[in-house]
């Protein structure tokens, strides 16, 4: 469906998300022995009329380069059931197929995981169908879990309505709201960095940090997804979920323990400390050419770029701006967190102009973290320059394969670990921050300024960052 996926007509097991992410993730789990034949079976469900082999051949096409022997073993785990998203026939067939498999398997416990790679408009009906036709029969030990993909609503009210609808069908512990940024290696590392390093503990506050930027850039536009994207825009597509989750991990207090509920409690608290966004601290952009997509209306004001300032009202962060910025069709593909420290008081080296200390965590591509330091320029003179303490994963962990986000999150779901999934109250708090702004944008009170594809985005965004305190140094 949506997420990474293409147009709405190609959803479900034959859709784009399934192709780019879900099946490759399942294959990698299989390849590493986390999914084993005899224990796991995969049922694809979608509207298209396909045979088992038809689906298998498609999946083969998504997994180019996989060794043939593994691949054919993996493909044997897959079956296909076709049906619509809102009537019992298809889901009855699905249940029958699952039950037959379960009856033939040696396992005592029946575990059913449903992955909804679908447009959210069909979530309530699909969940109702699953609830009515496909639940793990209560006569058996086991469980039923459901993974859902964003967007979870369009604003606070619609999100609450969706939550209430799903909440009537499933318990919170059965619902896995996926935000794939939480499956990224360096996002997961934030918790460790923050709370396992004495070096950062005393510095991580308003006394030492001037501002924090959380930035997402993509060097391609909405290609083929204009119809979906235009209804949501960059704030709902990236900022309100992916960047806000990163924000939580950067800004939250130390959880009582690593229990998923303790971590999610802290996220909710920090989100509740953020005021709704002040429209004076927002820049919206739309790249030239976005409206050439025939599925995008000619008068669209939907932002493909946005920069917004979050203000956190608590003891740790009062006065420190968090700049969340995301854009499509920019000059590079990169996601990073930049923690900028304050100037050194008493600048005896007269080096202030060279820049401040910055701690940069690059989430992708080429995972890395580095600290920008002022050092003596090697040589006879007492001159200074900016350099880095650099931990690049490609160098330090040369032989380690970093798992894909979806791989990790599907495994978490199988294991029943909800730490890296969004809880209902967290979702609500997230929408509270953005809803007034989103309504102003929808009402046309804020206009997106045009920018050139392949550029840094609107210059107004750099001006906004500078206005709230960010000092740009070399090598942005
Ligand atoms: C998805 C968005 O959630 O994340 C897409 O819907 C975006 O618009 C994608 O391209 C980015 O994910 P990643 O992992 O490539 O940074």
Three-state DSSP state, 176? strand
For 395-432, write each residue's pLDDT tens digit: 999 999 999 999 999 999 999 999 999 999 999 999 99
Share of the chain above pLDDT 90, in %: 84
Q: Give the Cα separation of 157 and 159 in Å (integer).
A: 5
For 332-372, write each residue's pLDDT tens digit: 999 999 999 999 999 899 888 888 999 999 999 999 999 99
Share of the chain above pLDDT 70, in %: 97
Angle of CA points 451, 456, 462, to nearest 5°: 95
pLDDT at 2: 29
- Nearest residue (by CA) to ligand 1, atom 11, is 4
- Nearest residue (by CA) to ligand 1, atom 6, is 3
The pTM of this model reads 0.94
Residue positions annotated with a catalytic role: 242
pLDDT at 17: 82
Phi–psi pair at 349, nearest 5 degrees: -90, -5
Average pLDDT over residues 289-299: 95
Statement: residue 238 has pLDDT above 60: yes
In this predicted complex, what is the ipTM?
A: 0.96
Query: What mean pLDDT, rounded, does the chain reach?
Result: 93
pLDDT at 20: 84
Average pLDDT over residues 180-188: 97
Q: What is the C-alpha R_g of the chain?
A: 24
How does residue 139 score in pLDDT terms, banded at 50, 70 and 90?
A: confident
Q: Give the Cα separation of 201 and 98 in Å (integer).
A: 50
Number of separate helices (H) and strands (E) present in the chain: 15, 14
Which residues sit opposite 214 in a β-bridge?
324, 337
Residues 205, 194: contact at Cβ < 8 Å?
A: no
Residues 162, 152: contact at Cβ < 8 Å?
A: yes
Please provide the DSSP assignment of 239-267 as one string.
IIIIIHHHHHHHHSPPPSSSSHHHHHHHH
Between 290 and 11, the more confident residue is: 290
Statement: residue 107 has pLDDT above 90: no
Which residues sit opposite 324 in a β-bridge?
214, 308
Report which of 325, 327, 347 is spatially closest to residue 337, judged by C-alpha positions. 325
How does residue 158 score in pLDDT terms, banded at 50, 70 and 90?
A: very high
- Nearest residue (by CA) to ligand 1, atom 3, is 3
- Helix axes of 68-75 and 52-62: crossing angle, nearest 10 degrees: 140
Q: Give the Cα separation of 173 and 416 in Å (integer).
A: 8
How does residue 388 score in pLDDT terms, banded at 50, 70 and 90?
A: very high
- Residue 236 C-alpha to ligand 1 middle, in angstroms? 12
Confirm or reject: Cβ of 3 under 6 Å from ligand 1: yes
How does residue 6 score in pLDDT terms, banded at 50, 70 and 90?
A: very low
Phi–psi pair at 417, nearest 5 degrees: -105, 115
- Residue 382 C-alpha to ligand 1 middle, in angstroms? 46
- Residue 475 C-alpha to ligand 1 middle, in angstroms? 25
- Residue 220 C-alpha to ligand 1 middle, in angstroms? 11
pLDDT at 474: 58
DSSP letter, residue 122 = G
- Residue 447 C-alpha to ligand 1 middle, in angstroms? 24
Which of 119, 218, 241 maximizes ligand 1 atoms within 8 Å of its Cβ, making it the mutation to test the pocket? 218
pLDDT at 306: 98
- Nearest residue (by CA) to ligand 1, atom 5, is 4
**Closest ligand 1 atom number to CA of residue 363:** 16
- The region that residue 236 occupies, defined by phi over 0 for left and psi between -120 and 50 for alpha, beta otherwise, is alpha
CA 215, distance to chain mean position in Å, is 13
pLDDT at 333: 97
Average pLDDT over residues 377-387: 94
- Nearest residue (by CA) to ligand 1, atom 9, is 4
For 22-54, write each residue's pLDDT tens digit: 999 999 999 999 988 888 999 999 998 999 999
Q: Give the Cα separation of 436 and 277 in Å (integer).
A: 8
Statement: residue 7 has pLDDT above 50: no
For 193-214, write each residue's pLDDT tens digit: 999 999 999 999 999 999 999 9
Report CA-CA distances (Å) from 47 to 3, 80, 84, 88, 297. Answer: 19, 10, 5, 13, 28
**Closest ligand 1 atom number to CA of residue 216:** 16
Statement: residue 453 has pLDDT above 80: yes
């Amino acid at each position: 469906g949506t997420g990474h996926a293409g147009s709405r007509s190609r959803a479900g097991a034959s859709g784009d998300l399934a192709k780019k992410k879900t099946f490759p993730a399942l294959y990698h789990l299989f390849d590493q022995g986390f999914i084993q034949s005899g224990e796991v079976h995969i049922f694809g469900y979608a509207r298209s009329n396909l045979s088992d082999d038809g689906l298998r051949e498609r999946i083969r096409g998504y997994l180019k380069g996989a060794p043939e022997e593994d691949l054919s073993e993996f493909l044997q785990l897959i079956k296909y059931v076709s049906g619509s998203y809102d009537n019992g026939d298809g889901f009855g067939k699905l249940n029958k197929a699952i039950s037959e498999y379960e009856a033939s398997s040696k396992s005592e416990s029946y575990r059913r995981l449903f992955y909804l790679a679908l447009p959210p408009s069909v979530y309530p009906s699909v969940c109702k169908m699953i609830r009515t036709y496909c639940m793990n029969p209560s006569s058996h030990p086991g469980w039923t879990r459901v993974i859902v993909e964003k967007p979870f609503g369009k604003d606070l009210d619609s999100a609450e309505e969706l939550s209430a609808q799903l909440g009537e069908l499933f318990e919170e512990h059965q619902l896995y709201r996926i935000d794939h940024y939480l499956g990224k290696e360096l996002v997961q590392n934030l918790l460790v960095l923050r709370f396992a390093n004495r070096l950062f503990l005393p510095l991580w506050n308003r006394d030492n940090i001037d501002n924090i930027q959380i930035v997402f850039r993509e060097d391609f536009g909405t290609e083929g997804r204009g119809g979906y994207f235009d209804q949501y825009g960059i704030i709902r597509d990236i900022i309100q979920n992916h960047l806000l989750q990163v924000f939580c991990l950067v800004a939250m207090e130390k959880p009582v323990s690593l229990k998923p509920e303790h971590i999610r409690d802290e996220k909710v608290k920090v989100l509740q400390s953020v005021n709704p966004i002040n429209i004076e601290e927002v820049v919206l952009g739309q790249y030239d050419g976005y409206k050439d997509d025939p599925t995008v209306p000619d008068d669209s004001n939907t932002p493909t770029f946005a920069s917004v300032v979050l203000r956190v009202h608590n003891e740790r962060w009062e006065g420190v701006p968090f700049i969340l910025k995301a854009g499509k069709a920019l000059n590079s593909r990169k996601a990073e967190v930049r923690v900028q420290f304050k100037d050194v008081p008493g600048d005896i080296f007269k080096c202030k102009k060279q820049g401040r200390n910055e701690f940069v965590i690059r989430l992708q591509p080429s995972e890395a973290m580095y600290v920008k330091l002022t050092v003596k320029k090697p040589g006879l003179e007492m001159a200074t320059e900016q350099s880095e303490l650099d931990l690049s994963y490609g160098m330090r962990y040369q032989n380690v394969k970093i798992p894909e986000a979806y791989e990790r999150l599907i495994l978490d779901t199988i294991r029943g670990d909800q730490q890296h999934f969004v809880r209902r109250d967290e979702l609500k708090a997230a929408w509270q921050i953005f809803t007034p702004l989103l309504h102003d944008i929808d009402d046309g009170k804020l206009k997106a300024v045009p920018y050139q594809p392949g550029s840094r985005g609107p210059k107004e965004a750099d001006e906004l960052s500078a206005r709230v305190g960010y000092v740009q140094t070399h090598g942005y």
